[in-house]
Amino acid sequence: MKNITPRLIELFKHGFCTPQITQLAKKMKEPSTTIHYNIKKMEKEGAIKAYKAVFDYKKIGLGYCAYLLIRVSQDKYGKIDDVCEKLAKHNEVESVDIVTGDFEVLVKLRVKDSDEYYQFIQYIINNYSIIKAVSMTSLKQFKSEFVG
């Protein structure tokens, strides 16, 4: 046993996939070279950032999903961006947005269970300039990453 799966998941989260030009061509009833041309164009323009896998997260040991609203201490200008960049580096973090409203940052997290979630929260509160954090645990997911 080589324990391929966890390594595969980590790579698949960010990329290591590629378009199915022939399938697209069939679906769209266009020549595959035309599809190819248009895809490469989008890639060059930066319109396409990556090709990746979407998982059934329960089945890969990431069954605990939560949204976290954060208020950041504002003693230095530009601090929020720093915190966001640090948060984005964690591979438990699916998304990081600066948002309007009572909180400044909205983070989406995927971890194994509540223990791992608690650990993560503790870590970021202790290490980043976070004043207040409100958790919204996902109880049921109907759609994620545009996949239903």
Give contact residues for DNA (rule: CB under 7 A).
1-4, 18-23, 30-34, 36-41
What does the block give as tokens for 126? Answer: 């202790």
Partner in contact with 128, chosen from a copy of itself, DNA, none, beta carbon below 5 to 8 Å by kind: none
Nearest to DNA of 38, 138 (CB atom): 38
* 97-117 burial code (b ≥16 CB/10 A, e <16): eeeeeebbbbbbbbbeeeebb
Contact 118, 126 (CB under 8 A): no
What does the block give as tokens for 82? Answer: 């720093």
Task: Give SS3 for 2.
Answer: coil
Partner in contact with 84, chosen from DNA, a copy of itself, none, beta carbon below 5 to 8 Å by kind: a copy of itself
Q: Does 133 bind a copy of itself (CB under 8 A)?
A: no
Nearest to DNA of 2, 76 (CB atom): 2
- Compute the least distance from the CB of residue 103 to DNA, in Å: 41
